[in-house]
Structure 1
């Protein structure tokens, strides 16, 4: 509702109470480790804690200040129910006894300027909290292992709808790998990695030019010029879905996301001031539109004289 300060205060009080009535330790959150954030959690709490690393491995070419700016962008932007809400804290002090040795070792290694460890406490100078979700890559792997085709179809459709609804809100996620999306307990797909987020209208979506001769396609370097902000949606399928079966399934559901024309059409609608509907529920729950012949309906119900 926009009451960020009150929300932070309520969560912090609930969090302290939870610490008092629990005994488990903070551990590294499951999933693929990010290049920008170190993420940990308390297993008994449905939240995660994210600390910005001191240094980012290539190819990340951003700074701490840029990461904070993008998190602030999300905080003040219309999240359309597809971007996780975050709470930002400074100088948070936690009991050292509640941290696992593995977690403390990682925090000391990747964020020594932010995380200070004392005899009985840990001081974290800056962090974000978010609602805990299952990383989508892990969720999809479990569905594939169990052969749950119906749930796999549903979550892939949700993933495509999440990207399209973010685009309708003038947001391009940047890094759209499945590991950067989470699945809620209700099966809703939500984006939660903001370090490469950008306004959609600032992107330049292009088609890949045809090669002049076969050797160009075999070259390790692109045969066409690439400028900052250029995005080639034709590259998305292989990049996002190494599994060919899942790639084909998603293409059937949302193959338009792999075309530059789709993204440019959304950009055009935004620049023209059109407001696109973003519904918070799946198509199966939407009210159906029934086209009724009003004249025929009145005739059938007219009283007999």
Structure 2
């Protein structure tokens, strides 16, 4: 069927998202030199053999967030869609309606980083947390509101697949020259999946791949400062003007001199092998998360290599000040970990931003960078592409994960894969110890909740796919038999395909018991120390893991420990914290906590529950994290969380702080 021609704008963004000094709420169309990113004939739109839906596509309840009022364009197109016009006209109207809804969504999405900046400037941590929650659910909220509404006025879309093919034919020219075409395309397909909710009908992700070389050909997202004689305070002062803070600095001159002095000290200590950088690149953005802002840059060395240069900024009654200088690759890996809340970045050029971050962390999958800065749906497709490419290049197939079998989930991966995949069992194994099983959907809900909170740097993110399809020959026969027998409610065969009702994908790490088998005493000691930090950071997010067993924790590339199993997590504020320490030997009275209808935690039993190997490692845990064995420590944290306090986290080593007097392990 034909489409009505329409001139396509090259880029739609909100003025407020691109030019902070002109943020007035208006919408404009501007060209930033990105025309041609999507070819006119859509040759770069590739059909992936991986098919999936995501969280938004399975929601049917109304969102909790109050969306902004729909634009006039959306309202008018809804009225046009109600008219009983010829099919080709209605299809075109529907395509333009979906794009208009997307424009409303994308404009609002681009506002959030500047809301986060205002929260930082106003020292409002509660607003910062709410902004993060709202932004994370924004995509789903738009899909949940408009999917059913479009279905109501155009019910044929729910049953006639041919209409969607024609609609795609109309929709693609409307977005072809847009910078955000990949998000716009995914948005339309999420609407499609929502309209087909409840029907096992996987829809292919077919928008273009965010490949590195294409992104690097676009307009730059950073400023370069040439360095003739090393790094000096005046260069840092200039760089700090990039975020355009409205709040004053406490002592800009003193802070930048301190950074320059720290830098010179590192050079004198031989940190950079006697070389001097030739340039400093700074992303043209502020990065905001919780109580902290970051200026993100990289040093350019004579051989063309890069190293991180990141300033952590805090704000209090005396003004903004530089709290830390991060300069190691491990620092930025942990800072930009997907186990933390997303960053709010005040630059709409997300492709270039991710390529910049990838230059600092080349070992991290590119898809993780998109998710880290809040473009989760771009990241989801990038992850699918990466898994597919790793399968093709390695010739491997999915097999059961090494180590112990999961009690509630079946895990699988392959050696060359950067990710670990899991499916929830229909029923847990016999080692399940939490009474009646709450069911697959309840477990999936826990994984979803963890995805939507600040994971405090100590909980792996969960990329969740629904109605996911892969080729049958990608799976080892033993794994496929296990999935079909023990997760039949979530996995089905359909010809040469394996269909997943729900699939969880996490970044691959090494489970602690597997790590301990080959680790040295020094490595075990470091892991045990980081395990305690992980538990404390989880506490800060109001997360308590009832199953305090080392098997539920893993270690990443830079020795950081993460919680990765969530079937036993609860809010710390919902837990009964008590102790048996004061009970006298031989006392027969039943302790009060025995009658609690909540989960009960006895801190003195934490060490034995973790099953840390070796006396030395257990002794170290007691010495370094003795507060975790103290009931008052836990009750105080619980009380503060109930009062709405935002607890502090450790997201970079103490030694990186400019005021640090001690050293901490990297």
TM-score > 0.5 by shorter chain? yes
Question: Is the aligned partner of 1:241 residue 2:611?
Answer: yes
Q: Which runs of 4+ in 1 moved over 4 A?
A: 209-213
Q: What does residue 448 of structure 2 align with?
A: 72
Larger Rg belongs to: 2
Q: Distance in 2 between matches of 1:132 and 1:213?
A: 46
Once the 2 structures are TM-superposed, how far is the Cα of residue 195 of structure 1 from its aligned partner?
A: 0.9
Q: Which runs of 5+ in 2 are unaligned?
A: 1-372, 662-666
> Given the superposition, is the C-alpha separation of residues 211 and 18 from structure 1 closer, same or farther in structure 2, using an over 3 Å criterion?
closer
Specify which of 473, 480, 485 is matched with residue 109 of structure 1: 485
Q: What does residue 157 of structure 1 align with?
A: 529
Q: What does residue 270 of structure 1 align with?
A: 641
Q: How many pairs are equivalent?
A: 281
Give the structure-2-normalised TM-score. 0.40
Q: What does residue 393 of structure 2 align with?
A: 21
Specify which of 618, 627, 632 is matched with residue 261 of structure 1: 632
Q: Distance in 1 between matches of 2:446 and 2:422?
A: 14
Q: Secondary structure at the match of 1:270?
A: helix
Deviations 1:247-273 (A, max 9, x none): 222111112111211101111222334
Specify which of 540, 549, 560 is matched with residue 188 of structure 1: 560
Question: Is the aligned partner of 1:92 residue 2:468?
Answer: yes
Q: Which moved more, 1:61-70 or 1:40-49?
A: 61-70
What RMSD, in angstroms, separates the aligned Cα atoms of the two structures? 2.1
Q: Distance in 1 between matches of 2:577 and 2:405?
A: 29
Q: What does residue 300 of structure 1 align with?
A: none
Q: Distance in 1 between matches of 2:403 and 2:551?
A: 7
Deviations 1:96-117 (A, max 9, x none): 2221122112112211222123
Q: What does residue 224 of structure 1 align with?
A: 591
Q: Distance in 1 between matches of 2:422 and 2:580?
A: 37
> Given the superposition, is the C-alpha separation of residues 98 and 155 from structure 1 closer, same or farther in structure 2, using an over 3 Å criterion?
same
Once the 2 structures are TM-superposed, how far is the Cα of residue 183 of structure 1 from its aligned partner?
A: 0.6
Deviations 1:103-150 (A, max 9, x none): 11211221122212345322222111000000011112322xxxx222
Q: Secondary structure at the match of 1:151?
A: helix
Whether the 8 Å CA contact 2:391–2:417 is kept in 1: the answer is no
Specify which of 535, 539, 564 is matched with residue 167 of structure 1: 539
Q: Distance in 2 between matches of 1:81 and 1:47?
A: 18
Give the structure-1-normalised TM-score. 0.84
Q: Secondary structure at the match of 1:190?
A: strand
Q: Secondary structure at the match of 1:266?
A: helix
> Given the superposition, is the C-alpha separation of residues 141 and 288 from structure 1 closer, same or farther in structure 2, using an over 3 Å criterion?
farther
Q: Distance in 2 between matches of 1:177 and 1:285?
A: 31
- Quick one: higher RCO (CA 8 Å, sep 6+), 1 or 2? 1
Q: What does residue 252 of structure 1 align with?
A: 623
Once the 2 structures are TM-superposed, how far is the Cα of residue 212 of structure 1 from its aligned partner?
A: 5.5
Once the 2 structures are TM-superposed, how far is the Cα of residue 215 of structure 1 from its aligned partner?
A: 7.6
Q: Secondary structure at the match of 1:214?
A: coil
Whether the 8 Å CA contact 2:550–2:612 is kept in 1: the answer is no
Q: What does residue 6 of structure 1 align with?
A: 378
Q: Distance in 2 between matches of 1:211 and 1:173?
A: 25
Q: What does residue 302 of structure 1 align with?
A: none
Whether the 8 Å CA contact 1:27–1:103 is kept in 2: the answer is yes
